Structure formats: C-alpha cells, structure tokens
Amino acid sequence: MAIRITGLNSGLDTESIITELVSAKKVSVDNLKKEQTKLSWKVDAWKELNTKIFSLYRNTVDKLRFDNAYVKKKTTVSDSGLLTVVSGENSVNGVQTASVESLAKAGYLTGGKLQTSSGGKVTGDTKVTDLGIAAGTSFTITSKGKDTQITIDENTTMSGLVSQLSAAGVNANFDENQQRLFISAKETGKDNDFSFSGDDSVLKTLGLVEDPANANGAVKIDGSNAVLYLNGARFESDTNTFQINGTTYTVNNVSDKNADGTLKETSITTTDDYDGIYDTIRSFFTEYNNLINEMDKLYNADSASDYEPLTSEEKEALSDTEVEEWENKIKGSLLRKDSSLSAVISAMTTTMMGSVTVNGKEMYLSSFGISTLGYFNSEENERHAYHIDGDPNDAAVSGNTDVLKSMIASDPETVTSFFTQLSNNLYTAMTSTMERVQDFKSMYKVYNDQQMDKELSDYETKIAEAEEALADYEDKWYDKFAAMETALAQLSSKQNAISSLFSS
C-alpha cells in the first residue's frame, strides 16, 4: 500500500477528493455484495419451502398411495374401566367378549424392620456386620432367572448393600425413617420376579424373608402375569398389554364375578371408522392447501425491483423496524415468477385436476364433492385450494351436501381406490419434478441447490477481485497525490532557497 500523504503542501482535502474519485468503483463492489445477499436470501427461501414440499411428498402423499392409510377401525367397550382397546388395520369387525382374570404386577418386598446388634438405629453408613452378620457372609439374589451373589465384608455398609442389590437387576432402597429395605422388580410379570436364597438367619437379619408371625417382619408380593379371556380363549402376558391379531388390549381392572364364581364378560364392538377415513382425506387437503396457497403467494408476489439490500451505512440511517420491513419486502419477492416454482405448482395442480379410473369409470375430485371455488369466488392466491362440500369447518362450502361422507359410508372401496391412485399420480409428478435436478446434492429438492451454491461461491470470487481492484485504484490516486505533495515540497524548498539569496 502506498504511503498516504495528505495535503500538507497543497492544502487540498486529499481524503475527500480520493473518496469521490473511487466512489463509482465502490458502488460496483456494493452492487455485487447486494446481489450476493439477495441470492443468499433466495437460497434460504427455497430451503424453507422445499422442506414443506418434501414433507407433503414423503410424510403424506407417499403413505396415501397405499390402502392401509385409509383402513380405519373403531372399537367400543361396554365396560371401559375394565380394559381399553385400540384397533389395528387387521382388526375384524364384529362383537367379541372379554374378561380379565388378573393384572400383571411387579414383585415387591417390604423388608423387615432392622436394628443393630445393640438395638441401635441403622443408617446408610452403618456397617452390615453391625447387625450381627459375620464378614465373609454371602447370599444369592435371583432376578429374571439370573443368580447374583451378594458378599458382605467388614467394610460393607447398608448403602453398599443397596448398590450391590441394584446392580443385580432390581430396584433397591433403604429407608432410614422406616428402618426397612424396599426392593422391587424392574418389570411386571412372574418371570421378571426376584427371590433370595442362602443362610436363613442372615436373610432374616437383613429383613429379606417373610416372617408372618412378626408384625415388623418382611412382606413379599410376588410378580404375576395378566390373564385375559377373549372369546373364551386364554391369553397371558407379563405386562398389562396384549397384542392380538393387530389389536391392542390394555387391561385396567379384574372382572367381577357372577354368582356361580365365573368371571363377568364385557362386550367389545369393532366397526369400520368412516369418520377416520374422512379425517384422513380432509387432513391431506388441509396440508395441500396450505402449501399450494403459500407457493401461489410467493410466485405472484409484488415486484420489489425498486428495493435492494441495504449497506451498513444505509442501515445506520434507519431504525431496526424500518430495516426489517425493507428486507422483508425483498425477501417476499425473491421467488416471484420463479421457473422452478412454476414447475412445481404446475405439476401438482395438473395432477389434482386429472382423472382416475375406478372400476372402469373415469372419476375426478369433483365426483366426491371436492373442488376449487373457481377464479372469481376464490381469495387471491387461493385459487388452487380444494374445498370439501359439507365440511363444517369451511364456511364457503359447509352448507353443501356432504358427498364425500356419503360415498365413504356407501362405497368405501371406491373412495379408497380413487385416492390411492390420485396420491400415486401426485407422488409420481412430484418425483419427476425433483428428478429434473440431476445433481446428487439436489436429491429430493425441486430447485437446483448445487447451481445456487456455485453462484454464491462465484460471487465470493468476484467480490474479492473487485475489492482488490478498488484498493489498487485507490492506491494509485494516493500515489499521484503523494507525488504532487512531494513536488510541491521540493518547489517550496527551492523557492525558500532563492528568497534567502536575495535577502542576504
């Protein structure tokens, strides 16, 4: 960089003059930075929109291509307090009987009350040998069929004993207030229960075996399985949940008994859930409409050609709110008339308007009372949105006859066939739109992210080159002014020398 000599001899404001001289080139650099900023915002806008498009594609449309997305069952239990039932797609319609013989329980031991050999209080820091148990003593705990030896040495404390028990696969705790060990299995069911074996006197001293004759003795509840009778067949589970033929049964209580001692039965009724099919279709259109309306809004956005990203200097002259409003105006217009966006909108709307053949009959969405409101009746940027006649949540069509619900009730197979095919067509159209971008990085994207990333990188190079050229141009002018200042200094020196000759 040149030595920057200001106007000491010329009296000129060198800094201001050079700033004006290079201002035109600085504008070029600023313009490149503004274009880079707009492209960066456009990349962000596409990322956000593509996430929503992909969500509809993968999480909704993909699933609706298959019949099981529409298979809904509804089950009611006459005694809902006894058990709850969640139907699966393989659940069989009809009425079943059920009774519950027992619930699954986890094994639980309330230990006997402890004391030291001298009758003192036991704490977590109390050594087990202080209870009168010899060092080197051991016993076995069996948990989930696995045997673990518990060894007591001269340093084993009650807290240490609890740690050994916990490591053996049970929940264990010593309550100093109650002076008892509390131990439970980690899971319900008889196969997940636990037991102790070893020297009976040691186990009694630790309160680990039952002693019915002693009010302060241990009490053990054995782990047990749940038993459910369904249509007379017996089912057993180590939890209170049963998975049977695609249906989930959760038992909550034991059945009452009849006078003859048999278990009272409750009825379980399973039917097709037509409301569930309707809700599935309506949920799809809610998501579809939200997305297509947003895309239309972005595509038809007002032009912001008179707005450019602000420089740091320009931002300083505005409030934060003004800066945000200015930038949002630009951001809202970045996908205006975008060709990639147009392709997505066209692919989706064309597919939705298309026909599907069901049992030899050509059908459209309108065949099910589903249509747009038309150009003149739709709100701006909502002309591609679909409305279901009779939908109580849609004021525009809530008063119309609900064709879709009627057809689901009368002919669910036709409804399912139509929407699986339509969804498959939409999935294919969206896939094709994504496949137009061949780069691996762009998989499942409807815009060319790799190309946009390259353009951003190119801007980095262009800006760096422009800034370097600007610096060189600025240095050139400083060099010229420095040379002028040097020449003026030399001239002034000569003039002073001549003046001194005449004055002598």
DSSP per position, 440-477? GGGTT-SS-HHHHHHHHHHHHHHHHHHHHHHHHHHHHH
* CA-closest candidate to residue 141, choices 128, 151, 131, 132: 151
| Per-residue pLDDT reduced to its tens digit, 425-448 | 999 999 998 887 655 455 788 888
pLDDT of residue 19: 63
Q: How confident is the model at residue 106 (pLDDT cuts 50, 70, 90)?
A: very high
pLDDT of residue 1: 45
SS3 281: helix
pTM of the model: 0.67
* CA-closest candidate to residue 372, choices 356, 390, 353, 387: 387
Tell me how far apart the alpha carbons of residues 118 and 121 are, in angstroms, rounded to a whole number. Answer: 9
pLDDT of residue 438: 56
- Element at 227 (helix H, strand E): strand 226-230
Tell me: pLDDT of 501 over 80: no
Report the first-to-last Cα separation within the chain, whole angstroms.
44
SS3 sequence, 139-190? EEEEECCEEEEEECCCCCEHHHHHHHHHHCCEEEEEECCCCEEEEEECCCCH
* CA-closest candidate to residue 74, choices 294, 274, 304: 274
| Per-residue pLDDT reduced to its tens digit, 342-363 | 999 999 999 999 999 999 999 9
| Per-residue pLDDT reduced to its tens digit, 286-333 | 999 999 999 999 999 999 888 888 888 889 899 999 999 998 999 999
pLDDT of residue 475: 65
Q: How confident is the model at residue 164 (pLDDT cuts 50, 70, 90)?
A: very high
CB-CB contact of 255 with 140 (8 Å): no
- Across the strands, what pairs with 240? none
| Per-residue pLDDT reduced to its tens digit, 364-414 | 999 999 999 998 899 999 999 999 999 999 999 999 999 999 999 999 999
